[in-house]
Amino acid sequence: MSVRPRYERPEDVANEYTASAKFSALFPGAEVTRLSDDGHGFTVLSKDGAAKVVIEIKTRRNASTAYPTFMISKSKYDALHKLQNRGLKAGILVQWTDRLGFVGVPTEHRTGVGGRYDRGDPRDVETVVYIDTNKYRDWETDRKSTRLNSSHRL
């Protein structure tokens, strides 16, 4: 089997970093670490050296209203769910052009086959999870909510 090309660009990493900084501001004192590809590229929020929250960060060049669902590979969703079962808080963070949204895992979803067809890479099409975009909590609203800020402790 050939080595899979890496499609992630430096701008993608920078955009994910910006999204993680916005999100981690909800958790005073959080340390943010991006795991290697072996760790699914997840981002971990830790406190006092202990992992507390693990998130998959995605950035999109469209508004959250452009599509009724957000698609993520089932293997990544399952890996997040497994970590949640081990006691970590787990979720998916998406930076759309109009908002930053977060949904915890597990969440209601449906599965299907999807992915990218524009790169001509057959490994870009796989079993995916579709999550309704209205399930994602809005980061700006949460950030301004005293009630939610007091519950976002690591």
For 14-49, how does the pLDDT look when each residue is reduced to its tens digit (9 = 90+)? Answer: 888 899 888 888 888 889 999 887 768 899 999 999
Percent of the chain with pLDDT over 70: 87
User: What's the rounded Cα separation, in Å, for the pair 94 and 57?
Assistant: 6
Q: Which residues contact 145 (CB under 8 A, 6 or more apart)?
A: none
Quick one: pLDDT band at residue 149, thresholds 50, 70, 90? very low
Residues 74, 127 contacting (CB under 8 angstroms) = yes
Query: Which residue type sits at 99?
Result: R
Fold classified for 10-65+75-107+136-151: Trna Endonuclease; Chain: A, domain 1 (3.40.1350)
Quick one: pLDDT band at residue 97, thresholds 50, 70, 90? very high
Q: Which residues contact 11 (CB under 8 A, 6 or more apart)?
A: none
User: What's the rounded Cα separation, in Å, for the pair 145 and 154?
Assistant: 17
> How many helices and strands, by DSSP H and E, does the chain display?
4, 9
pLDDT at 44: 93
Find the DSSP H helices in 40-144. Answer: 74-85, 139-144
Quick one: pLDDT band at residue 148, thresholds 50, 70, 90? very low
Alpha-carbon distances, residue 83 vs 37, 40, 56, 71, 74 (angstroms): 16, 12, 12, 20, 14
pLDDT at 139: 78
User: Which DSSP state fits 62?
Assistant: S
Give the strand pairing for 125-132 and 89-95: unpaired
